[in-house]
Structure 1
Amino acid sequence: MQAKTNIGGQAVIEGVMMRGPGHIATAVREPSGNITVKKEPLVSISDRYPILKKPMLRGVVALAEALVYGLKALSFSAQASGEEEEQLTTKEILMTMGFAFVLAVVLFVIIPTWAAKFIHSIADDPMVFNLFEGLLRLAIFFAYVVAISVMKDIRRVFMYHGAEHKAIHAYEAGAPLDVEHVRPFSTLHPRCGTNFLLIVMLVSVFVFAFLGWPDLWLRIATRVALLPLIAGIGYEIIRYAGRSDKRWVAVAITPGLWLQKLTTREPSDDMIEVAICALEAVKPDGEVKANA
């Protein structure tokens, strides 16, 4: 069987965004029940500057572009589903990204590295402080995922997340892209962004463990400065895991798959239909419709 092109995706409000080799498409279920699809060319800065396709660099570029395209897809889905009257402007997208970055730094950098000082009474080894900080960071991350997973609106997004994974699994297996054939596939996928975030957390624990324990603001500065490196490492790991069928790789990514049980839900048939529409829109031009 011919290898399929890697296609990634993201759940949005009442829909799914899919990213193929040349296009991005967002399919949304409108209040009327119809499915609207917005398809646009995928323009990557790495096409203009090929050096950015090199290992480590490509992960940072992929993450930044995923954030931009993801916010655009969310904005479109909010409008198409009737949640918002108009889409975000470029300025609003940049402001949202900036706010999200600051919030992430506060939650996953400042709070853990500040709180780690409270174990001074039982340890004085800098590596112990760093490892404790890493455990706090993981605990905050898990608590955040659990907290949002019980929200009603987020549960629907997680159902669309499951539909996205099922559609991609079916495509990669060469199955017909219709609801009947897509439904049996798993809601868990090794290339999921949830896996990526967990890997980034674990890589950060390892990297930061050897940085010593300087003053608080220097710790914060070094951790923020090293985020691109850590994201690059995480991207290479998730990229390898998505292409490998080695047993040890399957075992290594198992915790990420377990975590996806919180960030995905079994979708309804109409959600699977939306995911299929998005995927069909971004398949390479040379591939015929799988259910034709």
Structure 2
Amino acid sequence: MPVARLRNRYNSSRRMDTFGSRSLSRPVFEAMRATVWVHPEDSLMRAANLLRDGHPSVLPVVEGGTLVGVVTDRSLAEAIALGREPLDEVRLAMRPHLEVRPYALGAEALRLLVETGEPALLVVDDAGNLLGVVAPSDLVADHRPEPNPPLVGGMATPFGVYLTAGSARAGAPGWALATTGALLFLLYVASALFASWLHDVAGGPLWLRQTVAAVGPTALFLIGLRALPLSRIHGAEHKVVHAIERGEHLVPAVVARMPRVHPRCGTNIAVGATLFLGIATSRAIPDESLRLIVAAVVTLLFWRRIGEVFQRFVTTREPNRRQLEAAIRAGSELLEAYRWSTIGRPGLWLRLRNSGMFHVMAGSLAAYAVVAVTLWLLGWPLGL
């Protein structure tokens, strides 16, 4: 049957909407893969080599252009267990084959695989010609030819997720990234002012007030960051980045299962820098050279582990449905932009420009300027 007629039959038979149902409503010829075969007089060793190197674990046996059976891992093992030698002929391990027509639906092929327990089926046309093989994994795989970016970067903004693959970007616009920088700066200023107020009004011993002054701004900043919706959007960003990098389908049911912690998150970098500077500037180790060595070793050993803890409990939270769907839309836009991009391997400048860092820095500087001018107009000391 011509391929065009097969496709017409396939298109007229589609009735299902979910991805899993669609994958089984395709005709087998769209899911099958090419295969090699052996002759009955070939050695068991050759069949074993082909089975080891190929997948699925079924090998057609062809004699005089006619399909006469198959060799599987199980039939090969049974032949060896009966005392056959590796150089004996394949016909000694041959067994009857199961076949399916190319225009049969995937659901029919899957039912036959489940009922028989066979690892794969041979796809044979009406004239008895071997076309290929099909296994359960072939019926579930989506056979997408489009490439996915191997690495994806991103940022959370108050207005959604921003994503980049180096040569392409999608999601939240540049001004949204700038608002992230401004928001983080203003949050830290508010945390510092509140910590200063606590220091002034708090009683107790001197060490307690000094501790409040030293760690109060950072602690309040982290608490505020955790409480903001930005942490949920950050979690959605990580989930969709994981899904893209793993080649998963960008649907809520799949993306929601992805981890919130990502090894390349900026939280890890911030934790590493803080850890190194905290030890390097500490007076607990008098010798400066030794202090730098200890700072470097401790940072290299623990920056990512501590960063993952901060991601899990501070900088990300589980996104709600709306935030997750917005992140998925950004991910779909990125894939579309990436696949249509004519840029090969992006240069360093393009990657930096698309990273979003410049926008965030610009937003922070703009917020600093606004705060500085406001304090100057009010006649208050800058103190930032």
The structure with the greater share of residues assigned to helix is: 1
Q: TM-score, normalised by structure 1?
A: 0.45
Specify which structure has the bigger relative contact order, considering alpha-carbon pairs within 8 angstroms and separated by 6 or more residues. 1
Q: TM-score, normalised by structure 2?
A: 0.36
Q: Report which of the two structures shows the higher radius of gyration computed on alpha carbons.
A: 2
